[in-house]
Amino acid sequence: MTISTSPNALRRQEQQIARKYAGRLPWEAVIWGLGNLAVWLALWPLVFFDVMPLWLAFPIATLNVMLCYLPSHEAQHDIIGRKGTKWRWLNELVGHLSTIPLVLPYRVAKVTHIQHHLHANDPDRDPDYSSMAPGPWQAIWKSIQNRQPGAKGGFNKYGDILRDIGREDLLLDGALFQIVHFAILIGLALSGHAIEAALLWWLPRQIGLTYIQFFLSWAPHHPADGTGRYRDTRAFRSSWGNIGSMGMQYHIVHHLHPYIPLTDTPAAYRDMRHILEQRGCRLENI
Amino acid sequence: MQFVLKNILHFMPLIFGLGFLGPLISQILAMAGHGEVAGLPALAIGLTIGGLWGMIAQWRGRWL
């Protein structure tokens, strides 16, 4: 392949490659999102009617929470169905339902995630900047710290960003989700099912949030010292592999072309790697 | 409505400590065969620890 170094030609080549991977309805994300929720919901009667032991349900619930964000993320980018298309309802359904185990309202997730794309690595305007840390262990600790009631980062930062961009209306979504979540936990606890509530929802959510913030926020942006289209994220090789890191090894493709389905980003990356190299992107061991 | 929600969320560490952690601790104690500790029922122990922890979290703004 002849490679031109002209920035315009590079841009055209990049767009051509990206377009090859756009426009497909990622059914795998739909099945993943709705199926994952169905499994998590099924755990409750299975445990309460003694069909499944709690020690087995706990790791499954944890996996459910870890897996629940990305299908909604596809919906946040309208990948399942754009506005005005026949699959729009499915896009919104997956978006709203899949993150229930995480207690993250779709509208809050969508608006703050778009802000993340617009201002990645900007300490004041990137809602996810607070997950940044010098190393992996510090990132895990930071994730836990950001979940403390008086923390300045994490979901509390989402509230600040929503206020800054004039979307205070969405704070109500967040407040209602939190209150309903705690009401269910407390209701279960007071009726003698605290251990079930802790191991099917509360603890899986804590572990899941740590995992998600580590792999979906910290790892792909680390060290988070660059801004701009080709500098605010990276490609990297994870010791957990691409599946273990939930496709985040190719996060750079997602930031450049957020309409490409997650499962197509590895192939798109391989096709456009030579362009990204010329653009001076951080392509680390992959 | 907003005022009510804000206040519920503001006092959530205390509510969570008493309403969730308290029963959780007592049910773990009971499951481990300690229905009573030093003559006190497991629920009283749970509510004391959960309530105190929640109060500290409420005051400090952090559980850990």
Q: What is the pLDDT of residue B62?
A: 96
In a domain, A195, yes or no: yes
- Answer whether A148 sits within 8 Å of B63, measured CB to CB: yes
In this complex, the residue of B9, B13, B27 whose CB is nearest that of residue A178 is B9
Q: What is the pLDDT of residue A3?
A: 53
Using a CB–CB cutoff of 8 Å, tell me whether A85 touches chain B: no
* Residue ending a domain, choose from A183, A218, A253: A218
User: Which residues 2-31 of B have a C-beta within 8 angstroms of A?
Assistant: 2, 5-6, 8-9, 12-13, 15-16, 19-20, 22-24, 26-28, 31
Q: What is the pLDDT of residue B5?
A: 86
Query: A34: which strand partners?
Result: none
In DSSP notation, A149-215 reads TT-SSHHHHHHHHHHHTT-GGGHHHHHHHHHHHHHHHHHHHHTT-HHHHIIIIIHHHHHHHHHHIII
Residues of B in contact with A189 (CB under 8 A): 19-20, 22-24, 27
In this complex, the residue of B9, B31, B57 whose CB is nearest that of residue A195 is B31
- Looking at the structure, tell me whether residues A45 and A113 fall in a common domain: yes
- C-alpha A264/C-alpha B5 separation (Å) is 42
Answer whether A121's CB lies under 8 Å from A224's CB.
yes
- Looking at the structure, tell me whether residues A176 and A58 fall in a common domain: yes
Q: What is the pLDDT of residue B4?
A: 87
Answer whether A88's CB lies under 8 Å from A188's CB.
no
CA distance A144 to chain B (A): 9
* Residue ending a domain, choose from A218, A251, A277: A218
SS3 A234: strand
- Amino acid occupying residue B60: R
- pLDDT-derived band at B1 (thresholds 50, 70, 90) equals confident
Residues of B in contact with A190 (CB under 8 A): 19, 23
Query: A234: which strand partners?
Result: A282
* Residue ending a domain, choose from A179, A197, A218: A218
- Answer whether B9 sits within 8 Å of A189, measured CB to CB: no
- C-alpha A282/C-alpha B7 separation (Å) is 46
- Looking at the structure, tell me whether residues A125 and A141 fall in a common domain: yes
CA separation (Å) from A197 to A95, A143, A226, B11, B26?
24, 22, 42, 21, 14
- So where are chain B's domains? 10-60
Provide the residue-wise pLDDT of chain A in tens; the chain has 286 residues.
Answer: 545 578 899 999 999 999 999 999 999 999 999 999 999 999 999 999 999 999 999 999 999 999 999 999 999 999 999 999 999 999 999 999 999 999 999 999 999 999 999 999 999 999 999 999 999 999 999 999 999 999 999 999 999 999 999 999 999 999 999 999 999 999 999 999 999 999 999 999 999 999 999 999 999 999 999 999 999 999 999 999 999 999 999 999 999 999 999 999 999 999 999 999 999 999 999 9
CB pairs under 8 A between A and B: 66
Interface ipTM: 0.96
- C-alpha B3/C-alpha A249 separation (Å) is 44
Using a CB–CB cutoff of 8 Å, tell me whether A149 touches chain B: yes
Q: What is the pLDDT of residue B6?
A: 87
Q: What is the pLDDT of residue A262?
A: 98
- C-alpha A141/C-alpha A158 separation (Å) is 19
- Looking at the structure, tell me whether residues A108 and A207 fall in a common domain: yes
- Looking at the structure, tell me whether residues A165 and A235 fall in a common domain: no
Burial readout B16-25 (b: 16 or more C-beta within 10 A, e: otherwise): bbbbbbbbbb
- Looking at the structure, tell me whether residues A131 and A34 fall in a common domain: yes
Residue B13 is encoded by which pair of tokens?
A: 């560490």
From the list A242, A214, A219, A212, the residue with the least C-alpha distance to A63 is: A212
In a domain, A40, yes or no: yes
Strands (E), chain B: 36-37, 40-41
- Looking at the structure, tell me whether residues A206 and A247 fall in a common domain: no
Question: Which spans in chain A are helix H?
Answer: 7-20, 27-48, 54-67, 69-76, 88-98, 106-118, 136-146, 154-164, 171-190, 194-197, 203-212, 219-221, 241-244, 251-256, 265-278
Backbone dihedral region of A25: left (phi > 0), alpha (psi from -120 to 50 degrees) or beta? beta
Domain of residue A130: give its range. Answer: 23-218
Q: Cβ contacts of residue A146 below 8 Å, gap of 6+?
A: A130, A131, A153, A154, A155, A156, A157, A213
Residues of A in contact with B62 (CB under 8 A): 145, 148-151
- Looking at the structure, tell me whether residues A191 and A138 fall in a common domain: yes
Using a CB–CB cutoff of 8 Å, tell me whether B38 touches chain A: no
Q: Return the half-sphere exposure (C-beta side, CA atoms, 13 A cut-off) of residue A194.
A: 24
Q: Cβ contacts of residue A220 below 8 Å, gap of 6+?
A: A233, A234, A236, A248, A251, A252
- Answer whether A182 sits within 8 Å of B16, measured CB to CB: yes
Residues of A in contact with B9 (CB under 8 A): 175, 178-179
- C-alpha A82/C-alpha A166 separation (Å) is 24
| Domain count for chain A | 2
